[in-house]
Amino acid sequence: MEDKNTTIDLQLQNYLPWHKARLKFLNLFIVSLIRNRNISYSKNAVTLNNRETCTNLRRIQRFFTEFSID
């Protein structure tokens, strides 16, 4: 799975001028959306990564508060 994530990261770098931490988060969030087939922040926070759900939920909320995606 790590190789696929790296490939997605490289593709995102071509289109978004963000720093690596934001791109990695977006990569994890996209994969989480696909796995869960749901757009609920709280459901995606569970499968985002190995951190606590409340930490992931806050991370998702902060991302969408601070960044706009066209």
Question: Could you tell me the residue ranges of all domains in the chain?
Answer: 8-66
pLDDT in tens, 24-59: 888 889 889 998 898 888 888 988 888 888 999 999
Task: For Cα atoms 34, 17, 35, give the angle at the middle one, nearest 5 degrees.
Answer: 5
Q: Is 56 exposed, middle or buried (0-12, 13-18, 19+ CB in 10 A)?
A: buried
pLDDT in the model for residue 49: 83
